[in-house]
Each structure stands twice: as structure tokens, then as C-alpha cells.
């Protein structure tokens, strides 16, 4: 069996960022299901997250380990508009459009992404 190695990297500025770790984790959980992936269920907490109150780096980091790799979400909510850096890496196929549509709840001001095939190099798709 030949595995896919797809990596979606997103940078967005948004008007309505999640400001609560539990909300960010729930958003990831729903997204993972919508793109046909599954969370690893053998971990004590998955996804997991943390709110950093470090000056200049305030915001949420949340991560999920999926059966085919990972999902990460970083939110700097003190910025105006807030900044989100996000990525999905998977050995299964998925469509960027499904992921990007999931960002609409955050009211994006800008949304940029790169979709990379890491199977035999770093080819942008």
C-alpha cells in the first residue's frame, strides 16, 4: 500500500478567534471527523491544549494526534485581528477545501495556505 504524505499549512487573521482552550479542542475534534480522520484514543487527553499568558506570545496552542499523523492549532488572540497558524499532516488523502471551510466560524479577514505533497519531495499542490 502506498501512503499519501499531505501537509496543509494555514495562516489566517480572524475577527472571532477561540479564546478558550476547550473551544479550540472541540473545533479540532469536529474538523478531524469532517476530513475523515480519527483521533488516537489511547491517550489520556486528545486533543490537548494550553493557554499561554507569556507577554508577546499570548494565546492558545492545541494539538491532536490522529491515526495518520497530527493536527496543530496556534492562536495569538491579543492581536487585532487575531492570528491563527494551523497545520494538518496526514498519510491519508484529504481536501484543503474541507479544512478551509471549517475556518469560517472564526470570521477570517485573510486566509493563506500551502498544500504540500511530501511523498517524494516537497511539491506544492
pTM: 0.92
Report whether the peptide linkage leading into residue 10 is cis, meaning its omega lies within 30 degrees of zero. no
What domains are there in the chain, each with its CATH number? 6-119 (3.60.90.10)
Instruction: Please report, to the nearest 10 degrees, the dihedral formed by the alpha carbons of residues 32, 98, 107, 111 taken in order.
Output: 110
Query: pLDDT in tens for each of the 125 residues of the chain?
Result: 567 889 999 999 999 999 999 999 999 999 999 999 999 999 999 999 999 999 989 999 999 999 999 999 999 999 999 999 999 999 888 999 999 999 999 999 999 999 998 877 776 66
Quick one: which of 2, 31, 1, 6 has its CA closest to 117?
6
Amino acid at each position: 500500500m502506498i501512503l499519501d504524505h499531505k501537509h496543509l499549512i494555514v495562516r489566517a487573521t480572524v475577527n472571532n478567534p477561540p479564546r478558550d482552550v476547550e473551544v479550540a479542542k472541540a473545533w479540532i475534534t469536529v474538523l478531524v471527523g469532517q476530513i475523515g480522520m480519527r483521533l488516537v484514543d489511547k491517550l489520556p487527553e486528545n486533543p490537548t491544549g494550553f493557554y499561554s499568558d507569556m507577554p508577546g506570545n499570548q494565546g492558545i496552542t492545541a494539538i491532536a494526534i490522529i491515526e495518520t499523523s497530527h493536527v496543530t492549532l496556534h492562536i495569538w488572540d491579543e492581536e487585532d485581528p487575531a492570528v491563527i497558524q494551523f497545520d494538518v499532516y496526514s498519510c491519508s488523502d484529504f481536501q484543503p477545501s474541507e479544512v478551509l471551510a471549517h475556518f469560517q466560524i472564526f470570521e477570517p479577514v485573510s486566509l493563506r495556505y500551502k498544500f504540500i505533497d511530501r511523498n517524494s519531495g516537497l511539491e506544492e499542490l
